[in-house]
Amino acid sequence: MKTESTTLLESDTLQSFFDKGCNQFKDNLAFKCGAQSLTYLELEQDSRNFAAYLQANTNLKQGDRIAVQLPNCIAYPVVTWGALRAGLVVVNVNPLYTKNELAHMYKDSGAKALVLLGSSLELVSSLLDDTDISALFYLPNIQPNLEKLSIKALDYQGALDLGSQYKFQPVVTHANDMALLQYTGGTTGLSKGAVLTHHNLISAAQGFWNATNVFESGNEIFVAPLPLYHVYAFVAHIVVGVVYGVTSILISDPRDLKGFSSALENTRFSLFVGINTLFNALCHDEQFQKLDFSGLKFTLSGGMALDLGIAKRWHNLTACEINEGYGLTESSAGVIVNRGDTCRRLGSVGKPVAGIELKIIGDNGQQLNVGEKGELHLKGKQIMQGYWQNPNATNEVLQNGWLATGDIATIDEDGFVYIVDRIKDLVIVSGFNVYPAEIEQVVNLIDGVQECAVIGAKSEDTGEAVQLFVVLQDKSVTLEVIIEHCRNNLAAYKIPKVINVIDELPKSPVGKVLKRLLIPS
C-alpha cells in the first residue's frame, strides 16, 4: 500500500525552509508562551544571534551535537533553530530525566554543548567531566550557583547579546544530513538515538499538512500542550510552524489546567494536538469548557490509544471530532492519520500520509492479506536512517528501507489501519513509552531483590501505570526502599505505582518469565 508524496530537492533543508518561512511570514506571531512572544522576524534575529555566538565563541563545528534540555518555553525554538542554522545536530533531552538517564544520553550522543534551565545545573554538574560537553548555556529561572561547575556557563540572554556583535556565517547542509538525534526507549533498557535527517523532518511536516487539508498558510493558531522535546510536538510546532507560518501557543505545564485555559482565552485556535489522558482532563475542567472553540478545525490524538467515550465528550464540547493517528520516533512522528469527515473511521488510526508505504507481515515473514493480523512494517521518506552508532539495533528493525514497528495491526478493505496490540512488554504512561527492561534493571540492583518483572496496569489518570512484581531474597526489604531507589534512578512517570511481592515469577520450561500470567491490578 503506497501513497504519492511531494518531491523534495537536495537543496531543500530545514535551513532553506526556515529562511523562506521567516521572510514570508516575518510579521506573523510565531510563538507565544505566557507573557512572552516572538514574531517570525524576531525568531530569525534571535536564532541568528545564537548561531553567531556558537560559531564565534565555541569550538563546535558543523555536525556536532547540542543537547537541548528544556521544557516548552520561548527560548526552545530560538535555541533549536540557532543550532540548526549553525549546522549542529539537535539532541532533544527530557528535562525530567534523572542523573543516570541524562548521563547515558550525554555520553551516547557525544553532545558537545548543552542548554538547560538554571535549576537543572546542580543536578548535572557532577556529570559534565565524564562527557564531551564544552559549551554550557542556561535559562536563569533561578539564580544558580556556578562555582561548582567544571566548565563556564553562560546565561541564554547573554549568548544572544554577545552573538549580536558577530556576523553569522550561513552553513551549507544537505537533505540527507542528520538534523535531529531523537532518543527513544529500548527493550534493553537503554534509550537509542534515532537519526532523523532534514528530509525526514520536512517530509513529516508536509505529510501532516497535506493529510489534514484544512489549514491555510500564515493564518493558523496551533495549541502546543505536548513537550517540544517529543518528536510528535517537535514536528507539529517547530517544523510545521516555520514551513507554513503557524502561530504556536506553548503550554509550559499542561497539568496546570487553570493556567492552560488562561493561555487560550480570547484565542480562536485551529489545531489541538493531544493525548487521551489530556483530552479527558480538559473535558472535565469548568474553565476549559468556557473557551471559544469556533475556530477549531482539527483535533489530533496520538501517543496512546484513544478512548471512544472521551472522543465523544470532546466532540460534544468542541463540535470537532478527534482524529486518531499513529507514528513513532523512528518514523519522524505521524505516518498514519484519520483526516476529518471524509476520511475517518472510529477505532482506526487512519490511512498512511503521502509517501508512506505499509504492509502487514506474518510470523514466517510473509506479507498478509486484508484483515489478517501481523506486524506493521513502514517505508518512506520519514523513516529514520538508523540508530546512532548502533548497527545491531538498526539491523533488527530496518531491512531494505522497511521499518519493523513491533506493533500488531490489520488493514481493512478500504485501507484503514487498526492497531491491535503494541509490543507486549511496552507500557504507555500519559503517552510516554516506558520499557519494563529498564525498570527491571534498576530494581534488580537493590540488595535483597532476587528478581522482578514489570507489566502495565490500567489507569484512569494516565492510561496505563507501571506495575512491579518482585521476588525478595531478603524479606526485610520494604516497599519504601524500592520506591526510594526508583525515585533516585528513574523519571517520575517510570516509577511503579503498584508493587506486588510474590514468592516466584511464572516461567516457561526454559526459564523465560511468562508475563502473560501476571495479573494486572
Rounded CA separation 182/114 (Å): 15
Indicate if the pLDDT at residue 3 is higher than 60. Answer: no
Burial class (CB in 10 A: 0-12, 13-18, 19+), 508: exposed
pLDDT tens digits for range 149-173: 999 999 999 999 999 999 999 999 9
Paired with 377 in beta bridges are 359, 404
Dihedral of CA 261/74/22/29: which sign? positive
With H, G, I as helix, E, B as strand and everything else as coil, classify residue 352: strand
- The answer to whether the CB of 267 falls within 8 A of the CB of 247 is no
Residue with cell 510474590: 502
Q: DSSP code of 280?
A: H
Question: What confidence score (pLDDT) does residue 496 get?
Answer: 97
Burial class (CB in 10 A: 0-12, 13-18, 19+), 26: middle
Within 10 Å of residue 36's Cβ, how many Cβ atoms?
11
Rounded CA separation 396/403 (Å): 9
Question: What confidence score (pLDDT) does residue 148 get?
Answer: 83
Minimum mean pLDDT among 92-96, 435-439, 469-473: which range?
435-439
Question: What is the average pLDDT across 233-237?
Answer: 96
Question: What confidence score (pLDDT) does residue 431 get?
Answer: 87
Residue 363 — pLDDT band, cuts 50, 70, 90? confident
Question: What is the average pLDDT across 101-116?
Answer: 97
Residue 208 — pLDDT band, cuts 50, 70, 90? very high
pTM of the predicted model, to two decimals? Answer: 0.85
Residue 374 — pLDDT band, cuts 50, 70, 90? confident
Of 143, 231, 224, nearest to 193 (Cα)? Answer: 231
Question: What confidence score (pLDDT) does residue 11 get?
Answer: 75
Question: What is the average pLDDT across 6-10?
Answer: 63
Residue 438 — pLDDT band, cuts 50, 70, 90? confident
Question: What confidence score (pLDDT) does residue 346 get?
Answer: 82
Q: Residue 184: in which H helix or E strand, if any?
A: strand 178-184
Q: DSSP code of 329?
A: G
Could you write out the DSSP letters of every residue in 304-325? SPPPHHHHHHHHHHHS--EEEE
Residue 511 — pLDDT band, cuts 50, 70, 90? low
Question: What confidence score (pLDDT) does residue 424 get?
Answer: 62
- Give the amino acid at 437: A
Rounded CA separation 279/302 (Å): 11
Question: What confidence score (pLDDT) does residue 516 get?
Answer: 79
Residue 423 — pLDDT band, cuts 50, 70, 90? low
Question: Mean pLDDT over all residues of the chain?
Answer: 92
Looking at per-residue pLDDT, the higher value among 343 and 367 belongs to 367
Classify residue 299 as left (phi > 0), alpha (psi -120 to 50) or beta: beta
With H, G, I as helix, E, B as strand and everything else as coil, classify residue 210: helix
pLDDT tens digits for range 28-60: 999 999 999 999 999 999 999 999 999 999 999
pLDDT tens digits for range 300-318: 998 767 777 889 999 999 9
CA atoms lying within 13 Å on the CB side of residue 214: 19
Dihedral of CA 478/484/485/487: which sign? positive
Rounded CA separation 301/289 (Å): 19
Rounded CA separation 485/302 (Å): 32
Question: What confidence score (pLDDT) does residue 167 get?
Answer: 96
Dihedral of CA 439/444/450/451: which sign? positive
Within 10 Å of residue 302's Cβ, how many Cβ atoms?
24
Residue with cell 548497527: 391
Question: What confidence score (pLDDT) does residue 113 get?
Answer: 98
- The answer to whether the CB of 88 falls within 8 A of the CB of 50 is no
Name the pairing type of β-strands 178-184 and 192-197. Answer: antiparallel
Q: Residue 457: in which H helix or E strand, if any?
A: strand 449-459
Question: What confidence score (pLDDT) does residue 8 get?
Answer: 64
Residue 7 — pLDDT band, cuts 50, 70, 90? low
User: Could you tell me where the beta strands, DSSP code E, fall in 7-151?
Assistant: 29-33, 36-39, 65-69, 89-92, 113-117, 135-139
Indicate if the pLDDT at residue 433 is higher than 80. Answer: no
Burial class (CB in 10 A: 0-12, 13-18, 19+), 267: middle
Cell of 143: 539564580
Residue 236 — pLDDT band, cuts 50, 70, 90? very high
Indicate if the pLDDT at residue 186 is higher than 50. Answer: no
Burial class (CB in 10 A: 0-12, 13-18, 19+), 30: buried
Domains delineated in the chain: 427-517 (3.30.300.30)
Question: What confidence score (pLDDT) does residue 451 get?
Answer: 87
Question: What confidence score (pLDDT) does residue 422 get?
Answer: 61
Indicate if the pLDDT at residue 215 is higher than 70. Answer: yes
Indicate if the pLDDT at residue 120 is higher than 90. Answer: yes
Question: What is the average pLDDT across 268-279?
Answer: 91
Question: What is the average pLDDT across 318-347?
Answer: 92
Indicate if the pLDDT at residue 453 is higher than 50. Answer: yes
Question: What confidence score (pLDDT) does residue 130 get?
Answer: 95
Paired with 298 in beta bridges are 271
- Give the amino acid at 340: G
Helix and strand element counts for the chain (H, E): 16, 26
Indicate if the pLDDT at residue 247 is higher than 90. Answer: yes
- The answer to whether the CB of 300 falls within 8 A of the CB of 275 is no
Q: Give the whole-number percent of the chain exceeding pLDDT 70.
A: 95
Question: CA Rg, the chain, in Å?
Answer: 23
